[in-house]
Amino acid sequence: MHLTQGLHRAVQQNPDLPATIDGDRVRCWVESADRVARLAAGLRAHGVRPGDRVALLALNGDLYHEVLLAVPWADAVLVPVNTRWSVPEIAFSLRDCDAAVLVVDDAFAAIVPALREQTPDLRVVLHSGEPAQRPDGAVDVEGVIAGHQPVEDARRGGDALAGIFYTGGTTGHPKGVMLSHDNVMSNILGAAAAGVMWDPGSRLLHVAPMFHLAALTGWAIGVTVGGTHVFLPGFTPGGVAAAIERHHVEGMLLVPTMIQMLVDSPDAAGADLSSLRRLLYGASPISDAVLARAAERLPGVGFTQAYGMSELSPIATLLSPTDHLDPVRRRSGGRAAPHCEVRIVDEQDRELPRGGVGQIVARGDNVMLGYWNRPEETAEALRGGWMHTGDGGYMDDHGYVYVVDRIKDMIVTGGENVYSVEVENALATHPAVASCAVIGVPDAGWGERVHAVVVLAGDVPAPDAEELREHVKNRIAGYKAPRTVEFVDALPLSGAGKVLKRELRKEHWSGAARGVS
């Protein structure tokens, strides 16, 4: 199978239906396919050869859609670039994968000269946007499309490399996750078999950044089922609500922090969101408090949680809308998706009995080919044929997987293991807590102590630290309650919407060595 397969199907069956909506610009499937074929011809004319890497640094939009399809059409390899990275980080990824071409939009045109200085082997920069914003030496994307005749689809697929997706780089340099077409397509078919994704012909809103594999996979599923893709360049509660109302959006992917902002923001309060039917979320479980508010605001919506990682293309488990009605199961990440096997193992990679906490591992056609130019790290991650996620968790008797923490994030206080997710879930039930993160910080007496970083809701009386501690103690064991609480205006988030706990730890662990036993 190959990523462009859905495009051919949509052109054959629904050529005149809208494929993309970007602001006031609407393009049907036959027009979209023609532009993709012409852009692929332009890439080849600019020296792109089979297997060359083409990087894309842009905000969400119909450009993203067309490049994602044109690159495999031209028999090349996608490299979506993290839009939150600094110039040195971006340049590292371009050098690391030896990118031949970089496609940018107006939002990133200004940094092209600096990128060129740091990536001397980059051959071509294609720019989409206003002529006044075009970097020196860059080539106009629209000119490329207009100036070339369509070429036949290379139908690059199967076990051929589809893309290199760089991890967030929590330690050292980011790693390039190599995914084949079969890797990505196995996720699409698995999600479809589970019956929890987009319906054929649905209108889908893309607002989570599409460089992130979860958002890109949501887009790929939409292409496969012939959905209409509505794009927003970034997330604001009012912007999302207005887009849902205006375009009658039926499905979208958000992270829990975005869901919270959507249902709580006064900017979204008056919008008609009744068209929405499916909401996929990931990156972390959703708290009961936020889920309750979301269910009230979006009464016709089925919520689905996907757990996984880039190395798994990215889905390993799915929690269905029905599962969300169960107060226990909705704390899980769901059960293994149809395309994937999941186990919990000990330090010797032996499967643990149900309920035992260990590392979550997975195998299937969705498991990455490996890390780009990192054979030793690939061998370690894929030892025994299983992808070792680095996440700690357990599985119940019905196969539901409960993620308790990143193994490296587990807090060891006074000889007891504390999983931050459990504490966060307890904290989040307090009506004054809008969002929170729990970390371990140095403590002379306990080794580490449980420390909570809390963003307060603005519409209820503010609690003090002791009130929050007692609230947690009434729900979980007392030793797990935060010994210290810090109040902040906002939590640091990655481009994918995950809380950056490493940033929260910096001020506490500066000069201290942190070990996890």
Residues of the chain with pLDDT > 90: what percent?
A: 75
Q: What angle do CA 391, 60, 18 make, to 5 degrees?
A: 115
pLDDT at 379: 96
List strands edge to edge, sheet with 77-80. 139-140, 124-128, 101-105, 53-57, 77-80, 161-166, 176-180, 370-371
* Cβ partners under 8 Å of residue 144, min gap 6: 38, 39, 42, 43, 45, 46, 126
Q: Identify which of 300, 331, 333 has the alpha carbon closest to the alpha carbon of residue 317.
A: 333
pLDDT at 21: 98
284 vs 363, more confident: 363
pLDDT at 253 over 70: yes
Mean pLDDT of the chain: 92
What is the rounded CA–CA span in Å between residue 300 and residue 302? 7
- Three-state SS letters, 167-210: CCCCCCCCCEEEEEHHHHHHHHHHHHHHCCCCCCCCEEEECCCC
pLDDT-derived band at 503 (thresholds 50, 70, 90) equals confident
Domain 189-406 architecture? 3-Layer(aba) Sandwich (3.40)
Structure tokens given for 103: 């496609």
pLDDT at 266: 94
Q: Report the length, in residues, of the chain.
A: 517
The answer to whether 203 and 247 have CB atoms below 8 angstroms apart is yes
Residues of the chain with pLDDT > 70: what percent?
A: 96
- DSSP label at 430? S
pLDDT-derived band at 514 (thresholds 50, 70, 90) equals very low
The answer to whether 440 and 449 have CB atoms below 8 angstroms apart is yes
* Average pLDDT rounded to a whole number, residues 267-293: 89
pLDDT at 332: 93
pLDDT at 498: 76
What is the rounded CA–CA span in Å between residue 129 and residue 126? 10
493 vs 173, more confident: 493
* C-alpha dihedral, 240 to 242 to 243 to 244, nearest 10°: 90
What is the rounded CA–CA span in Å between residue 138 and residue 93? 20
pLDDT at 469 over 50: yes
What is the rounded CA–CA span in Å between residue 212 and residue 310? 8
* Secondary structure class of 496 (helix, strand, coil): coil
pLDDT at 478: 85
The answer to whether 330 and 320 have CB atoms below 8 angstroms apart is no
Q: Identify which of 287, 405, 403, 399 has the alpha carbon closest to the alpha carbon of residue 336.
A: 399
What Rg do the C-alpha atoms of the chain give, in angstroms? 23
* Cβ partners under 8 Å of residue 432, min gap 6: 456, 457, 460, 461, 462, 463
* Average pLDDT rounded to a whole number, residues 441-459: 86
Structure tokens given for 185: 């397509």
Secondary structure element (H or E) that encloses residue 243, with its range: helix 237-247
* Average pLDDT rounded to a whole number, residues 327-343: 94
Write the CA distances from 317 to 339, 387, 420, integer angstroms: 9, 14, 21
pLDDT-derived band at 470 (thresholds 50, 70, 90) equals very high
* Cβ partners under 8 Å of residue 171, min gap 6: none
What is the rounded CA–CA span in Å between residue 256 and residue 73? 34
pLDDT-derived band at 29 (thresholds 50, 70, 90) equals very high
Q: Render pLDDT for 80-124 as a digit per residue (tens, 0 to 9).
A: 999 988 898 899 999 999 999 999 999 999 999 999 999 999 999
The least confident of 57-61, 67-71, 230-234, 258-262 is 258-262
Q: Identify which of 126, 167, 162 has the alpha carbon closest to the alpha carbon of residue 147.
A: 126
pLDDT at 462 over 80: yes
What is the rounded CA–CA span in Å between residue 397 and residue 153? 47
pLDDT at 285: 66
pLDDT at 451 over 80: yes
* Average pLDDT rounded to a whole number, residues 194-212: 91
Domain 27-157 architecture? 3-Layer(aba) Sandwich (3.40)
The two domains 27-157 and 410-509 share their CATH topology (first three levels equal): no
pLDDT at 419: 79
163 vs 517, more confident: 163
pLDDT at 516: 28
pLDDT at 502: 81
The answer to whether 404 and 422 have CB atoms below 8 angstroms apart is yes
pLDDT-derived band at 511 (thresholds 50, 70, 90) equals very low
What is the rounded CA–CA span in Å between residue 113 and residue 145? 24
Q: Render pLDDT for 402-421 as a digit per residue (tens, 0 to 9).
A: 988 777 777 878 667 787 88
Domain spans, the chain: 27-157, 189-406, 410-509
* Secondary structure class of 277 (helix, strand, coil): coil
Secondary structure element (H or E) that encloses residue 139, with its range: strand 139-140
Handedness of CA 72, 74, 75, 76 (dihedral sign): negative
pLDDT-derived band at 505 (thresholds 50, 70, 90) equals confident
Domain 410-509 architecture? 2-Layer Sandwich (3.30)
Q: How far is CA 257 from the centre of its chain?
A: 13
The answer to whether 206 and 215 have CB atoms below 8 angstroms apart is yes
pLDDT at 517 over 60: no
DSSP string, 438-485: EEEEEETTTEEEEEEEEEE-SSSPPP-HHHHHHHHHTTS-GGGS-SEE
pLDDT at 512: 43
